[in-house]
Amino acid sequence: MLPEHILRSYRRTDSRPTDPPKAIMTDIPDRIQEIADQYGIEIIRDPESDRNHGANAGDIIFLGEFDDPDIEWIAFWHELAHCLAPKLVLFGRGQHMSMISSEGSAWELAIGLAYMHGYEWGYYSKELVWARQQLATYCRNEYLEELTAELDGG
Ligand SMILES: [Zn+2]
């Protein structure tokens, strides 16, 4: 499902019933491929993935279609951080203490890695605002359940 703002602009510019707009990005941008290659990570564009989302499995990053290349760029760093976390954050441990810890440390590692490669975002940049919004979704999902269980004596 396309984001509502894209659907709206699509409807506005073309009232005929036609195919939905084509994917905005299909190729992997050079800057992403170059960094991935440096870390031995494979990048796969996955149009079946959720729009504006990435995922990872071992040394593979899956990128859905992104509406904004700047958001895709920081999302890539986040997925790269997940791939590198077993070595750089967990020191070989099997798992993070919690989902929010995994996501938060992946964001810190992502921003640190990007900084190391010469990229930096300000606190109010659209990239970091988006990153904080992503992180906040995990707070809601994980900690509300835990806090509720605690209050219930569970
Ligand atoms: Zn994540």
For the entire predicted model, the pTM comes to: 0.77
- Provide the pLDDT for residue 9: 38
Ligand 1 center to 82 CA (angstroms): 7
Could you tell me the distance, in angstroms and rounded to a whole number, from the CA of residue 131 to the centre of ligand 1? 10
Q: pLDDT tens digits, residue range 4-33?
A: 443 443 333 444 444 444 444 579 999 999
Distance 78 CA to ligand 1 centre (A): 6
Give residue 137's pLDDT.
87
pLDDT tens digits, 61-114: 999 999 999 999 999 999 999 999 999 999 989 899 988 999 999 999 999 999
The rounded Å distance from CA 42 to ligand 1 centre is 17
What's the pLDDT tens digit per position in 108-142? 999 999 999 999 999 999 999 999 999 998 876 67
Give distance in angstroms: CA of 146 to centre of ligand 1. Answer: 20
Find the 152 Cα to ligand 1 centroid distance in Å: 29
Rounded-to-integer distance, Cα 43 and Cα 14, Å: 34
The predicted structure's pLDDT at residue 7? 41
Between the CA of 14 and the centroid of ligand 1 the distance, in Å, is 36
HEC profile of 4-41:
HHHHHHHHHHCCCCCCCCCCCCCCCCHHHHHHHHHCCC
Kindly report, residue by residue over 53-71, the tens digit of the pLDDT: 999 999 999 999 999 999 9
Cα(114)–Cα(116) distance, integer angstroms: 5
Whether 128 contacts 71, CB under 8 Å: no
